Amino acid sequence: MFANCQLMGMDMAFPDVCKTPVPIPYPNMALGPMAVPNAWNILFMAMPAHNMATTTPITLGDQPGVLGGVVSQTFMQQSRHVTGAFTVLLKGTPATRVTSITVQNRCNMVGMRIVPSQFKVLMLAP
% residues pLDDT > 70 (the chain) = 100
Q: Which of 56, 39, 28, 57 is nearest to 3 (CA)?
A: 39
Q: pLDDT at position 75, please?
A: 79
pLDDT in tens, 72-103: 888 788 999 999 999 999 999 999 999 999 99
Return the SS3 of 34.
helix
| Strand ranges of the sheet holding 109-115, from the earlier edge strand across to the other edge | 24-31, 10-18, 109-115, 101-104, 79-81, 55-56
| In contact, 94 and 100? CB cutoff 8 Å | no
pTM of the entire predicted model: 0.88
